[in-house]
Structure 1
Amino acid sequence: MRAIGRATSAGMIRRRTASRSLSNRSSIQRACMASSQPDTGMPRPYGERLEVCHAGWLVGALLLMCIPLFFGNLGARDLWTPDEPKYGQVVREMLDGGNWLLLQFNGQPYPDKPPLFFWAAAVCAAVAGGVSELTMRMPSAVSACLAIITVFFLGRRLFGQLTGFVAGIVLATSLKFAWQGRYGETDAMLAFFVLAALTAFWFGHTARESGPRWRLLAWAFMGLGTMTKGPVAFLLPLATLVLFFAWRGELRRLREMRFGVGFGILVLLTLPWLLTVMKKGGSGVSEQMLWHHIIVRFFSGFNHLRPPYHYVVRFFEEFAPWSVFAPTAIAVAFLRAPRGFGKQPAMAPGPEAADPARRDWALREGWAFLLAWFLAMLVFFSLSPTKQGVYILPLYPSAAVMVARVLVESIGKPQGWESKTVRVASVILFAGVVLASVAAVVGYAYAPAVVGETVSRNVVAGFAACLSLVALAGVVLLSRRAAAYALTTFALLAYVAQVGLHAGLLHRLDAIKSAKPLCQKTLAVMKPEDGWAIYGMMKPAYVFYTGRTALVLHDKDPEVRTKVRAFFSSDRRVFCVMKRSELQEVQDAAGRPLTVAVKHTVGKHSMVVASNSP
């Protein structure tokens, strides 16, 4: 019996020891897992809830946010000059003529852009039963949503889940990105493919075994971007990588991109279409596409000429409202990622980066990557004399992640200089919102001729009052050091402003911005056999909204007077749209009195449609 008792006691001791050992091991594992989580900079439990939340829930929240922002009333606004009506007409002629490879506009080859955006819009139009405002903007809206989700995963990989979530909100509610996500042209799609390519590179750069596959995926995204807007889609990512590796002092690591295979993917995706265009369009179309719209546009410029600092100013204007935090974010990036900071390979935040030193290394390298991305694209486009604000849209995701990281850190470390500058910027921004709201109401009262009856005074006043109240609430929260709630208020303010502007107000300006009413009046007096012309410069809206091929009578053409006389001397009835100020000039060239069939104001111009028949 004693032996049995001793055996039983020994067994119980062994079980307690094993249980204690297992408990200690579990505690160690939990501690390791906790230390392996990226430093969010947020005080628990606020930040911890989002860090440990399943990524699918956060993706779902971002998608729900995107639905009203990018799809609400998406087709309510008419296609506005210059690009939307032109692209709409290209898609219409693609569907009507069945030629999906050689793009055409107004019956002539259109070599300005590759076809991927137009293919996407044509598919939407085919499904919907015709080209419309909604179908033309759908590719941009979908691209914007994909970009928001991609920037979430990029921010999550770089700094943690909370930073990724905030970065998605920042990008979605920045002024220019929200606009392009609802605009029927190629730039939102290009921005997504450039973002996807650089995100794939970073995943490959920080992966152990799947790195080569991620890099091949990056090349595929660059190829799709090239089919959207040309070689800029692979030049921008490559410029970013060159600067990033040069910053680290490791240019030799560019070989990891496998340029031979990568350019093979580019050729595979683009060459079949390019050869078809060269064969069907002839040397003239090829020269226009490859020389005029790529080389000449970039190096010498033929329109939109601006000084070298233009993009710095435009970024701070069009990344609003988050641009007030951009100087702090860029300064932090310079401080955290000094040049040539080492040769140690990157480690992705996660269980394998449990060591604080390795985790800090990964965070520093992430800052270097984002800063290289921002600077490379800013310098790249600043070197070209041709400048438009939309060109720098691909650098917005890097700015969004940097700003998001600074905002998250400023909440968790309220005593740092970064937090103090963020608080000052927030107060300035909130005050600016209140002043802008007051200015909008006062401006509306003193400028009724500008907006007329298109926007109700009560609507403007109510919208401005709501924004002001939210801004004041944010100031109160900041004064009480409730920074997390102030940030939430700020994001809500930006979101409500963007949704209200795009889904609720802009379509009301069609009466003074759109050419559609003039075209509808013209179609009411025209017959199918009547001729149609545009005097001055080509205005695509008069082609799209009449559905007619137009003769363009360029006012700079030396033979324009002869062409005008021949057009109005036709045996059939003809109509020509022009500015009211050009009517006498056209009548003199026609050598006969003309009848004004339609009058309408489009934008800041008073337009008339003149005919050779009473």
Structure 2
Amino acid sequence: MSHPLPIRLPGLLLLALLVLGAGLGLRDPSPPDEPRFVLAARHMVESGQWVIPHRGSELYAHKPATFMWLQAAAYLLVHDWRVAFLLPSLLAALGTLWLTHDLTRRLYGRRAAIWAALGLLVVLQFGLQAKRAQIDMVLVFLTTLSMWGLLRHLLRGPDWPALWLGGFAAGLGTVTKGVGFLPLLALIPAIWTMRDGWHGGAGSRPSGARWWGLPLAFVLGTAVWLAPMLTVVLTSDDPALHAYAREILLRQTGERYANAWHHIQPPWYYLQVIFTLWLPGALLLPWLLPAWWRRLRRRDARLLVLLGWAVLVLAFFSASPGKREVYIFPALPLLCVAAAPLLPGLMRRRGVRLTLAGYALLLSLTALALGASGLLADPRWAQRLAEERALDAEALRMLLLWLLALGVGGLVLLGWSRLRRTGTALVLFTALLWVVYGLGLAPALDASSSARALMQRVGERIGPEAELGLLAWREQHLLQADRPARDFGFERPWEDQWHDAARWLGEQPQRRWLFVLDEALGDCVDRQRAEFIGRSNRRDWWLVPGDAVVPDCRPGFAPRPQGDASRD
């Protein structure tokens, strides 16, 4: 058996472009994370201030500006935010596929290379991140680029320009998201392989003048963002800018890792991630692990570096109390490289083919059951979903029809494969999954998830001449507002926001309205005059006219958890 599809790299990249790009331009930014990045990128374009990101009236100090630069640059290229906000992730995904293929080709040959790229393409987390406007797909491109450069030197070198490129990419990754330095950990297993008896490596020990190019390249990579940011901060007397620098350089890096204040998970959390988001690849671990162990016992330097680095990444993130499923994502492409030479043999095993077919069958039957039951049998669960997500009848119907199509399509592919062409069926089923997601599922949920429908109702209710203020808001509300909206801070305590909002409303109570989260209404609003405007992102929202606020009232609220809430 050669590989699941009779395809070469250009065809694979074209397939990935069609599959991962399906639905581009059909939805707006939705939580988590997407609206805040687009909000900051839009501010850059509109204000011309690109160095320090903003979230409304506040400085945004939780992530460097690099990813937002990419989104803003994409907008200047295509002049459509619905397309521009997803372009960096899409291009990064294609680049990661190419790097995975090329690194595998250099380490294991052309036959294994296409297996590595296809293996990466079918993993759920890869497709999901490629179709989301989060930082992590761009980060994974940079960490994979860094490993590509480092391993070209360490395992197939000497190749000093590749080593320096790896250092630069690690530095750039660090100022894209703080953990971009992780590829440098590959030096630990690489140095170990330089002992006698390991084969497959061709590097040199890190000594000599040219090795100093690696840390220098890393520093140059970080300077892409650090240099302009520090220049702006150090040449200003604005205390807000100095607080911004302290927050992003200290609290959002070392303190966030060592003493995380949210996303607290147990040490074994990433096993759960591997056996869910890394499907179907995780299903092959019972066969891969013994095969990897046999090759390590034969002292294969390539495998030790690849797997050793992945283990170090897993250990690094497991040691922190704060964990998210995307944190270990950078290890995935390199694990696909490590698995690639074994996949042709594994796919000849009936047990492997049955396992992978069972995975596709389970997803197909689940989608079929959800779609059919919501449309034909018992629609109560679908109605509950519609109420929770504020979906109208047409959006719910389209969601269920697309689920039905996914289920039927998956069963047709499995029937066609007859277990002999399981690899091909799995690739085609994954393609079908992401096409259905991009063209059907995400657009059906979009009006609710992005808060577009809610903010349209807000604009229609208050009229074109009214002014709008936001209190206890989320980024999608400011992004979707149909007029310039006044905010009173994002991370400020609600009580302080109310103090400024009440004064603002009192100045022109007949034409000013306040958009408020239900929990933040407090006891300073006459609820007989306030209006419930709708539900979005599983929360209730109200409109408060200027004359509905109790004069000289200062509401009290329980302290909210500190930190940036990244999920709605």
TM > 0.5 between the two?
yes
**Per the alignment, do residues 278 and 555 of structure 1 end up closer, same or farther by CA in structure 2, a change over 3 Å counting?**
closer
**Per the alignment, do residues 552 and 527 of structure 1 end up closer, same or farther by CA in structure 2, a change over 3 Å counting?**
farther
Q: Which TM-score applies when normalising by structure 2?
A: 0.83
| 2:408 is equivalent to residue 465 of structure 1 | yes
For residues 35-434 of structure 1, what are the structure 2 equivalents within 5 Å?
A: 42=1, 46=2, 58-129=8-79, 132-208=81-157, 211-230=159-178, 232-234=179-181, 236-246=182-192, 249=195, 253-255=205-207, 260-269=212-221, 270=223, 271-279=226-234, 280=236, 282-338=241-297, 364-411=300-347, 414=348, 419=349, 421-434=351-364
**Per the alignment, do residues 330 and 574 of structure 1 end up closer, same or farther by CA in structure 2, a change over 3 Å counting?**
farther
Q: Is the 8 A contact 1:204 1:212 kept in 2?
A: yes
Separation in structure 2 between the aligned mates of residue 467 and residue 206 of structure 1, nearest angstrom: 41
Residue type at the aligned position of 1:202: L
Cα deviation, 1:270-323, whole Å, max 9, x if unaligned, reads 142342243246421111011111011111101111111111111221112332
Q: Is the 8 A contact 1:577 1:608 kept in 2?
A: yes
Structure 2 residue aligned with 1:497, among 429, 433, 437?
433
Shift of 1:505: 2.0
Separation in structure 1 between the aligned mates of residue 394 and residue 464 of structure 2, nearest angstrom: 34
Q: Which residue of 1 aligns with 2:562?
A: none
Separation in structure 2 between the aligned mates of residue 60 and residue 81 of structure 1, nearest angstrom: 33
Q: Which residue of 1 aligns with 2:487?
A: 550
Separation in structure 2 between the aligned mates of residue 607 and residue 48 of structure 1, nearest angstrom: 50
Shift of 1:472: 3.8
Separation in structure 2 between the aligned mates of residue 77 and residue 218 of structure 1, nearest angstrom: 35
For residues 431-580 of structure 1, what are the structure 2 equivalents within 5 Å?
A: 431-441=361-371, 444=374, 445-446=378-379, 447-449=381-383, 450-451=385-386, 452-454=393-395, 455-456=397-398, 457-474=400-417, 476-477=418-419, 482=420, 485-526=421-462, 530-536=466-472, 538-546=473-481, 547-552=484-489, 557=494, 559=496, 562-563=499-500, 565-572=502-509, 573-580=511-518
Q: Is the 8 A contact 2:448 2:454 kept in 1?
A: no
Q: Is the 8 A contact 1:140 1:189 kept in 2?
A: yes
**Per the alignment, do residues 421 and 303 of structure 1 end up closer, same or farther by CA in structure 2, a change over 3 Å counting?**
same
Q: Which residue of 2 aligns with 1:601?
A: 535
Q: CA RMSD in A?
A: 2.9
Shift of 1:127: 2.3
User: What residue ranges of structure 2 are gaps of 5+ in the alignment?
Assistant: 197-202, 387-392, 549-568
Separation in structure 1 between the aligned mates of residue 290 and residue 440 of structure 2, nearest angstrom: 37
Q: Is the 8 A contact 1:580 1:607 kept in 2?
A: yes
Cα deviation, 1:444-481, whole Å, max 9, x if unaligned, reads 3432211443143443323211112223444x23xxxx
Shift of 1:145: 0.6
Residue type at the aligned position of 2:403: V
Separation in structure 2 between the aligned mates of residue 305 and residue 244 of structure 1, nearest angstrom: 32
Q: Is the 8 A contact 1:328 1:421 kept in 2?
A: no
**Per the alignment, do residues 443 and 307 of structure 1 end up closer, same or farther by CA in structure 2, a change over 3 Å counting?**
farther
Separation in structure 2 between the aligned mates of residue 581 and residue 283 of structure 1, nearest angstrom: 33
Separation in structure 2 between the aligned mates of residue 506 and residue 448 of structure 1, nearest angstrom: 16
**Per the alignment, do residues 223 and 316 of structure 1 end up closer, same or farther by CA in structure 2, a change over 3 Å counting?**
same
**Per the alignment, do residues 558 and 437 of structure 1 end up closer, same or farther by CA in structure 2, a change over 3 Å counting?**
closer
**Per the alignment, do residues 578 and 212 of structure 1 end up closer, same or farther by CA in structure 2, a change over 3 Å counting?**
same
Residue type at the aligned position of 2:231: T
**Per the alignment, do residues 59 and 277 of structure 1 end up closer, same or farther by CA in structure 2, a change over 3 Å counting?**
farther
Separation in structure 1 between the aligned mates of residue 498 and residue 212 of structure 2, nearest angstrom: 56
Shift of 1:262: 2.0
Shift of 1:100: 1.2
1:432 partner SS = helix
2:513 partner SS = strand
Cα deviation, 1:589-614, whole Å, max 9, x if unaligned, reads 14685332x62221322323222259
**Per the alignment, do residues 569 and 259 of structure 1 end up closer, same or farther by CA in structure 2, a change over 3 Å counting?**
farther
Shift of 1:390: 1.3
**Per the alignment, do residues 565 and 550 of structure 1 end up closer, same or farther by CA in structure 2, a change over 3 Å counting?**
closer
495-504 or 87-96, which deviates more: 495-504
Shift of 1:409: 2.1
Q: Is the 8 A contact 1:564 1:589 kept in 2?
A: no
Larger Rg: 1
1:330 partner SS = helix
Cα deviation, 1:37-91, whole Å, max 9, x if unaligned, reads xxxxx4xxx46997xxxxxx72211221122222222121221123111111101
187-196 or 401-410, which deviates more: 401-410
2:19 partner SS = helix
**Per the alignment, do residues 91 and 47 of structure 1 end up closer, same or farther by CA in structure 2, a change over 3 Å counting?**
closer
Shift of 1:528: 7.4
Q: Which TM-score applies when normalising by structure 1?
A: 0.77
Separation in structure 2 between the aligned mates of residue 393 and residue 433 of structure 1, nearest angstrom: 22
Separation in structure 1 between the aligned mates of residue 97 and residue 340 of structure 2, nearest angstrom: 13
Shift of 1:574: 2.5
Shift of 1:434: 4.3
Residue type at the aligned position of 2:309: W
Residue type at the aligned position of 1:81: P
1:75 partner SS = coil
Q: Is the 8 A contact 2:364 2:406 kept in 1?
A: no
Residue type at the aligned position of 1:601: R
Residue type at the aligned position of 1:600: G
Residue type at the aligned position of 2:24: L
**Per the alignment, do residues 379 and 613 of structure 1 end up closer, same or farther by CA in structure 2, a change over 3 Å counting?**
same
